[in-house]
């Protein structure tokens, strides 16, 4: 899955997310006015929706950038999380995790 981090620039966050989902976009995560979406599901977004969103430059955010927690924004955290998920080390660990092929429903029902 390829992810995109977007900032909702105009309109109600709830309404924009609803429109994204209705358009077939998979919303992976949302915090405030920042939304992480599955980029492979964004083929036919209407102009109405795209004008309400801004692409977040995920590469410009570094851990040092968020060292002062008073200045951290939702998009900063989403950007760092995306960088982590795209890292070679994370991908390796993901493919070799202990519970890789287990049913998560069964795992959670154990507790």
Look at residue 66 and tell me if it is in a domain: yes
Residue 105 lies in a domain: no
Q: Which phi and psi (to 5°) does residue 7 adopt? A: -110, 130
Model pLDDT for residues 67-88, shown as the tens digit of each residue: 666 667 777 878 888 888 888 8
What are 8-39's pLDDT values in tens digits? 888 788 888 888 888 888 888 888 888 888 88
Question: Is 48 part of a structural domain of the chain?
Answer: yes
Residue 82 lies in a domain: yes
Contact 66, 76 (CB under 8 A): yes
Q: Which domain holds residue 42?
A: 3-100
Sign of CA dihedral 77, 80, 84, 85: positive
The answer as to whether 12 is a domain residue is: yes
Q: Does residue 106 sit within a domain? A: no
Least confident of 11-15, 32-36, 51-55, 99-103: 99-103
Number of domains, the chain: 1
| Residue 56 within any structural domain of the chain | yes
pLDDT of res. 69: 65
């Amino acid at each position: 899955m390829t992810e995109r981090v977007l900032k909702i620039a105009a309109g109600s966050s709830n309404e924009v997310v609803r429109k994204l989902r209705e358009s077939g976009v998979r919303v992976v995560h949302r915090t405030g006015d920042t939304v992480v979406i599955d980029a492979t599901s964004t083929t036919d977004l209407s102009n109405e929706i795209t004008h309400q969103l801004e692409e977040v430059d995920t590469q410009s955010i570094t851990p040092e950038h968020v060292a002062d927690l008073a200045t951290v924004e939702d998009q900063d955290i989403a950007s760092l999380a995306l960088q982590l998920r795209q890292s070679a080390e994370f991908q390796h660990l993901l493919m070799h995790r202990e519970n890789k092929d287990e049913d998560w429903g069964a795992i959670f029902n154990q507790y």
